Amino acid sequence: MASKLTLDGGIALVTGAASGIGKETALAFAEAGTQGVVFADINEEDAKVVAEESRKYAKHAGYRALAVKVDLTDAESVQSLVATTVKEFGRIDYAVNSAGIDLENYGSFTPALNLDVFSKVSDTNIAGTVRFVRAVTGAMAQQEPLTFAGTSRHGSRSVGRGSIVLLGSTSSLIGAPGMISYTTAKHAVIGIMKSAAVDALALGSAIRVNAVCPGWVDTPMVQSAIEQNPVLKHAIDNITPLKRAATVDEVADYIIFLSSPSASFINGTALPIDAGFTLPAPPPLPRA
C-alpha cells in the first residue's frame, strides 16, 4: 500500500477478501490503523490465511482480524456476516463489497449469450450487492457517529455512522463488445450505490455510499480470463493509456481514501481509476 492515509481506529468489513482487490483492500485497512478487519469470502480457508497475514501490517495496538465465510447469493449468509461483525466488534465503520464472479461470458456477443451464466453473474454481482448494502446500512444506522481528532487548525471531524464503498468498473461507465453480463452487472452497481446514498440522506442516517470504477487490474480473476482468452492480454496492453493494467494497491489506495475522514464530503460518487481510459479520444493534432 502506497497511501499514507491514516484511520485512527474503526472497524472494517471487506468481502472478497481472500484474493485480488478485496485482499489488498483488507490488508490496507489493517496498515492504515483500523482496530479490526473482517475478512469475508466464500473461500473461508484462504480468508483465514490473509487475516493472519494482516497482523504483520497492522498499526493499531489492539488490532484484531477475523475471517468469516459469506455467500452473497444467500441473504441469510450476508445478514449473518453483518451480525457476526457487530457481535465481535460492536460496529462497522468501513464496509467494502469487492466480492464478485469472473468474466465467464467474456467474448460472448449478445446473440450468443448464455442466459444461465447471465443469471449467475446477476445474482452475485447485482443481487449480492443489494444484499450486502441492505444488511450493512441497517447495522450502521443503529450505531453512533464516529469522530476523528482532525487537525490542530480545524479540530475534530465527524465522519458519520459509516462509509460503504462498492466495487464498480469502467464497465459501469461505458460499454464493451462481448461483455454484456459483466457490463450490465457493473452498471447496476452504480445504480445501487446512488440509490443507497440517496436513501441514507433521506433517512438522515449519516452513511456515505460511493463506488470505485477501476479499469483492467492485475488480479487472479483477470489472469484467469487471460488464460481462457489470451488475446485479452494484448488488448489490455494496447487500450490502457499507461499500457498496463492497474495494480491492486492502486485501487486499494482510493478505497481507503473514500473511507477516510479526508473524503467526509464525498457521497454518491463513482470514482474512475483507469488512467484516463474512459476519457473521450483526443482529436488528431494538426500536422505542420
pLDDT at residue 22 greater than cutoff 70? yes
Among 29, 9, 77, 16, which residue's Cα sits nearest to residue 258? 29
pLDDT at residue 14 greater than cutoff 90? yes
- Higher per-residue pLDDT: 107 or 24: 24
**Phi, psi angles (nearest 5°) of residue 125:** -85, -25
- For residue 117, give Cα distances in angstroms to 126, 176, 224: 13, 18, 17
- State the helix-helix crossing angle for 44-54 and 20-32, rounded to 10 degrees: 30
> For residue 230, what pLDDT is reported?
84
Residue with cell 485482499: 23
For the residues 142-165, what does the mean pLDDT come to? 86
Among 33, 42, 45, which residue's Cα sits nearest to residue 9? 33
Instruction: Return the amino acid letter for 263.
Output: A
Contact present, 47 and 54 (Cβ < 8 Å): no
**May I ask the CATH class of domain 11-273?**
alpha beta
For the residues 237-249, what does the mean pLDDT come to? 89
Please give the span between the terminal C-alpha atoms of the chain, in angstroms, as a whole number. 45
Q: Band the pLDDT of 21: cuts 50, 70, 90.
A: very high
Give the integer Cα–Cα distance in Å for 138 and 216.
32
Domain boundaries defined on the chain: 11-273
Contact present, 164 and 137 (Cβ < 8 Å): yes
Q: What's the whole-number average pLDDT of the chain?
A: 91
Which residues are tagged catalytic?
A: 182, 186
For the residues 4-19, what does the mean pLDDT come to? 91
pLDDT at residue 81 greater than cutoff 80? yes
* Residue spans of beta strands (DSSP E) within the chain: 11-15, 36-41, 64-69, 94-97, 147-151, 155-158, 162-167, 207-214, 270-273
Task: Summarize pLDDT for 182-239 with one digit per residue, the tens.
Answer: 899 999 999 999 999 999 999 999 999 999 999 989 888 788 878 888 888 888 888 8
- By percentage, how much of the chain surpasses pLDDT 70? 96
Most confident of 92-106, 116-130, 187-201: 187-201
pLDDT at residue 46 greater than cutoff 90? yes
> For residue 104, what pLDDT is reported?
58
Which of these ranges, 30-34, 138-142, 219-223, 284-288, has the smallest mean pLDDT? 284-288
